[in-house]
Amino acid sequence: MTYCLGLLLEDGLVMIADTRTNAGVDNISTFRKMHVWERPGDRVMVLLTAGNLAITQSVVALLSEAVDAGDGHESLATAPSMFRCAELVGEAVRAVWNRDGPAMEQHAGGFNASFLLGGQISGRRCRLFEVYQAGNFIEATADTPYLQIGEHKYGKPILDRAARFETPLIDGLKLGLVSMDSTLRSNLSVGLPIDIALYRRDALKLALRKRVGEDDAYFSGLRQRWSDALRQAYQAIPNPDWS
């Protein structure tokens, strides 16, 4: 499985994804779940994937082939809006379903895939979408400024409590990393390294793209500080006075 999250903030976007893929306890691999299409000054798009690896890789391959085909073809590189880009992702999902879905159902494999698409096109607003396995999608808003896919239940409470549209971008990154750490600690199907993309609204180029592994000093320190803070917080709560 995997865990991916996107934060749509007043200042921009935070996108984080783990890299673990497992098909049983003795078959664990690392695959990139973050895919970036960037044309500085024109558009930036980040796609995060979760679910069946064969399906998600096929969807990404279809989207990439359309981009590589050039400006004469509609693609993530030529679409006029992020809404249309989300539609293109959904169309790619349905194309893979039409090709592979019936066969997968016959073999009880299940058609399981979901995507987060965030980015901005010149002259348009910054947006974040979640695309479902049926190809339909929803959009993050100022009222609900984050979206998650994959094993999201362990990382959701910190976002519910602290993530706001007005949250500064760097604080959003810290919240996202704490959310990821909570999932890493509680679910063996999610694992390091993790990929991070940070985008500042209207910059039309990524502010940060980084892979974080076991040896990253900042992330190790963040994990320890968060654990210490939780212990101190519950110890500071007054004891119940129930008789």
| Segment 194-222, tens digit of pLDDT | 999 999 999 999 999 999 999 999 999 99
What pLDDT shows up at residue 25?
60
Query: Exposed, middle or buried by CB within 10 Å (0-12, 13-18, 19+), for 204?
Result: buried
Q: Select from 176, 88, 102, 78 the least CA-distant residue to 137.
A: 88
% of the chain surpassing 90 pLDDT: 88
Q: Which residue type occupies 10?
A: E
Selected from 3.40.350.10, 3.60.20.10, 3.30.572.10, 3.40.50.300, the CATH number assigned to the domain covering 3-236 reads: 3.60.20.10
Q: Select from 141, 153, 159, 139 the least CA-distant residue to 3.
A: 153
Backbone angles phi, psi at 17, to 5 degrees: -145, 145
3-state secondary structure 127-159: EEEEECCCCCEEECCCCCCEEEEECCCCCHHHH
pLDDT band of 146, cuts 50, 70, 90: very high
Q: For residue 205, what is the DSSP state?
A: S
pLDDT greater at residue 71 or residue 193: 193
Q: Select from 40, 62, 38, 39 the least CA-distant residue to 49.
A: 62
- Indicate the pTM of the whole model: 0.96
Angle at 17 between CA 14 and CA 18, to 5 degrees: 150
pLDDT band of 188, cuts 50, 70, 90: confident
Q: Whole-number mean pLDDT of the chain?
A: 95
Domain extent listing, the chain = 3-236
| Cα gap 143→141, rounded to integer Å | 5
Distances in whole angstroms, Cα of residue 63 to Cα of each of 77, 91, 99: 10, 10, 15
